[in-house]
Amino acid sequence: MSEHAPHPTPVTGPAFRERLSPGPAAWCGAVGLGVIVGVTLWPLAHTIAAVVGVLVAAATLAALVATAPVIEIADGRLRAGKAQIAVDLLGEVTTMDDAEAMRTALGPALDARAFVCLRAWARTGVRVDLEDPLDPTPYWLLSTRRPQELAAALAR
């Protein structure tokens, strides 16, 4: 009788994954900052002004990309940036499909104990209630450009 190797467990990707990368306005702002620096240095030395302006724009763009958080559901956990929580500790999910709903959630309706993962260029989001009696955080408020998809992934 021959022995068979066990079948490998299929590798599946995350149920949801979104990097909150900067939008066009942030990219333009980074380039604009480089231009301002270049123009400021222009009277001193044209070549140095151009090089420093390009470097400032590139460094700003790199910083925006490097600090863009990832919202992900994988391996039974919801991750938002560096924070994570088991999905079985999550309760009701409320989507905010327009900027006004998100603005209200971040303004007058915000509980100061809530965990917030916000990026201004993602104007929609979700509120995920926590059902962990040991956690004083009542809910997570997350920016996402795809609130319906995130809510559906959490419902699974």
pLDDT of residue 12: 62
* pLDDT 10s digits, 57-66: 999 999 999 9
Whether the CB-CB separation of 38 and 46 falls below 8 Å is answered with: no
Quote the pTM value. Answer: 0.78
pLDDT of 136 strictly over 50? yes
**pLDDT, average across residues 20-41:** 94
Give me the percent of the chain exceeding a pLDDT of 70: 92
What residues have CB less than 8 Å from 117, skipping those under 6 apart?
20, 69, 71, 80, 81, 83, 140, 141, 142, 143
Q: Average pLDDT, whole number, for the chain? A: 90
pLDDT of res. 6: 55
Give the mean pLDDT of 127-143: 94
Q: Average pLDDT, stretch 14-26?
A: 91
Contact 50, 104 (CB under 8 A): no
Q: Give pLDDT, residue 4.
A: 53
Query: How confident is residue 7, by pLDDT bands cut at 50, 70 and 90?
Result: low
